[in-house]
Structure 1
Amino acid sequence: MHRFTIDRNKDRRDPRVLLHRSFYLSDLPRLMLACRLTGHRPVVDGYDSKYGPEEQRRARWVACDRCGVRPEPQGHLDPDEWNLGQPYTGPTVTARRLSPIVVKQLARKGITPRLQTEPGPWPARPEGSLGAELVIGRAHTIGAQIKVGNPGSEQVLAGHIGLGPLGALFVHSERFGTWVQRRLNPTGHQSRETGFSIFHGRLSWDLWAKRGEWNASDPKWMHGSVSIDPRDHLLGPTRNRKVSETEKVPAVVRMPEGDTHDVTVHLEQWETRRTRGRATTYWMAEWDCKAGIPVRNHDWKGDATYSCSWHIEGVTPDTDRWPHIIAAAAAEQCTRDRARYNYRAPSKEDA
């Protein structure tokens, strides 16, 4: 068994968060009492897909219907002869899977091992992992959710509970809980979620909904939301609209490292109001840099900030030098991002 923790506050500090840490327990032995007492229950597992090359769209192997453990090797059965979920009554072999080192040694000699079609023996000591993430302090929502993974999910079961300003707790399992997953969501490539959340005065829910997906064909009971803010019922819903905006004005963002960047800035006047009641107006500042302002050193993920908008208290078109105020705010924002990503300015040799 191995255990370790990660301090998430190091990635992005928030003064409103007292603790943000992840905990992991790996290489935990799985109990599987029924399988250890009576033996595994082999069934045909696999998938049918309409994507990819024709010879890879269907696959069959062997797994235990109770604990989900696969033999080693798991086997490669003929999809035309075996159906998903069918009890496996075919032969097994005692030869074990070749190690990666042996496979590489054979590859150097031009030898490709034959694909093992029959399943091998069951592993003697199946293992799994557990994980949790604890936040004490500010969390984004109030709610709870449970996820049941699909057959290919790394996390078999997962769930979380959020308590708003008090914090949140997230938990997940890897390989543990496979019996539940195989009973509730044994086929397909979509995990299922059930839960609710309260955010910005609305109660939202998901009932056995596909994770990260919404289709017009889904039944209405599967997803939904309703306003629980009494102001929405007494005064009407809140609506925002842009009233006016200034012309785009050129400005210069000067970074502490000495680099400068040409940007365009402008102000937008927005109005927030309900159906009944007074309207509130405010100004949003926006800046845009076509070339981008680099804020991190990364080879492939991108390293430039291009545009942003935010509310700056007291800044209106009547404010003297408002373009320079926005440029200074943009420099401050990019400076914070550079500190967060540990940005290193290129040297003269690199330039």
Structure 2
Amino acid sequence: MRWHTTNYKHHDHETGVPVNRGWWLDDLPRLILACRLFGHRPVVDGYGPHKRGLDARRWVVCDRCGVRPDPHGNLDPDEWAIGEPYTEPIWKDGPSARFVTSFRKAMPQVPHHVPSPPGAWPARPTGSISGQMILGRHHGLLHIGLDIGAAGDEDTLAFRISINPLFWFSVQTEGFGQWLQRRLIPTGYETRQIGVLLDGWQLHWKLWARQGHWSRDQPKWWEGSVNLDLAERLFGPKRYAYTNAAGPELAWVHLPEGDSYQVQLRLKRERFGRPKSRRPAMSWSVEWESDRPIPVRHRHDGKSGGITSAAVAVADDAVTNNLWVTAACAQISATVAEQRTRYDYRPKAAEEGDNR
């Protein structure tokens, strides 16, 4: 048995998270008491329908504990179906994995898919348990979930629970829980998920949903969400809306380092609020676009990484006094200067000066 941990906080430099640690327990002995008392229950496992042109493999596994012989064998898909009991004898002194590997190396002309019997059952099957503990802020408000891995997954079972901003805890097993896995997912290679997630005012649920896979043909009760925000249900979600107010106008942006860039400006009236709300937040913004990138940082290839378009906010007084072009150029210059300071960028001598 081996135990080790790692401190993820040192790698991620997270703020508001005093503890973020992962842990592993490897080479844990599996009890498999029923199999030790009554013996293993060998069945045929594998993948692929046996049709012309399609790849298929068959091997032996214990239907009760999920342990495979060593080696697990290479059966003929023409003769053995997945889930069928394996009725041939499995000898304690059967071919070992070292023997099969040595034989294939000595006889490279023998194809790997040639049928071969399974070896002996492992005398001391082991598994592992791992997990992660986070204390502090994280994503979501409340989350409880259980994943049941398929036969090809690294994790057999995975459980997680979190309450933001208190803690986030997860635990995964490898090998442990294979009896439940084989009862619930006897065939296929799709992990199933069960859980609920409360993120803001949105409640998400998964009831036997397929991990990383969604189809419009699947039952609706597998996964879904409901909005608990009463204001959003009555007045609609908050959204931004823009209308053209003036422009386009050409202007020059002068940066503190001495370089200048011509930009095209468009004044926009910005509305933020719910569609049915009578009091949305109104403001002004200016969209700008440059014919060539304004460099703000050095790239790995030695060139300068820059921006060609963005938007900045301008005050109501600037629009009222028809000074929105001047205000927008000043705001663009300040924004670019701030980014250059953040990335420690200094323009080259060829880029300095007035480029007009």
Q: TM-score range by the shorter chain?
A: 0.7 to 0.9
Matched, 1:197 2:197: yes
Contact 1:251–1:265 (8 Å) recurs in 2: no
Aligned residue in 1 for 2:170: 170
The CA deviation at 1:78 is: 1.2
User: Closer, same or farther in 2 for the Cα pair 1:61/1:89, shift >3 Å?
Assistant: same
Aligned positions, number: 321
String of CA shifts for 1:285-336, please: whole Å, max 9, x gaps.
Answer: 8999699966779xxxxxx89899799898996355222223234345656x
Distance 1:254 1:173 in 2: 57
The DSSP-based 3-state class of the residue aligned with 2:232 is helix
Contact 2:239–2:272 (8 Å) recurs in 1: yes
RMSD: 4.2
The CA deviation at 1:64 is: 0.4
The structure having more radius of gyration, on CA atoms, is 2
Q: Structure 2 matches for 1:284-323, cutoff 5 A?
A: 318-319=327-328, 321-323=330-332
User: Closer, same or farther in 2 for the Cα pair 1:293/1:82, shift >3 Å?
Assistant: farther
User: Closer, same or farther in 2 for the Cα pair 1:74/1:252, shift >3 Å?
Assistant: farther
The normalised TM-score by structure 2 is 0.75
Alignment equivalent of 2:76, drawn from 64, 78, 90: 78
User: Closer, same or farther in 2 for the Cα pair 1:239/1:76, shift >3 Å?
Assistant: same
String of CA shifts for 1:245-285, please: whole Å, max 9, x gaps.
Answer: 98798989999xxxx9x999989775321122421246598
Q: Which runs of 5+ in 1 are unaligned?
A: 298-303, 336-351
The DSSP-based 3-state class of the residue aligned with 2:181 is helix
Aligned residue in 2 for 1:345: none
String of CA shifts for 1:163-207, please: whole Å, max 9, x gaps.
Answer: 122231121111111111111112112111111111131111111
Distance 1:125 1:98 in 2: 17
The normalised TM-score by structure 1 is 0.76
Greater mean alpha carbon deviation, residues 135-144 or residues 326-335: 326-335
Q: Which runs of 5+ in 2 are unaligned?
A: 319-323, 345-356
Matched, 1:12 2:21: no
Matched, 1:327 2:326: no
String of CA shifts for 1:182-241, please: whole Å, max 9, x gaps.
Answer: 111121121111111111311111110111111110112112111112322444332333
User: Closer, same or farther in 2 for the Cα pair 1:41/1:160, shift >3 Å?
Assistant: same
Aligned residue in 2 for 1:340: none
| Identity rate, percent | 32
Contact 2:50–2:77 (8 Å) recurs in 1: no
Greater mean alpha carbon deviation, residues 33-42 or residues 317-326: 317-326
Distance 2:72 2:263 in 1: 60
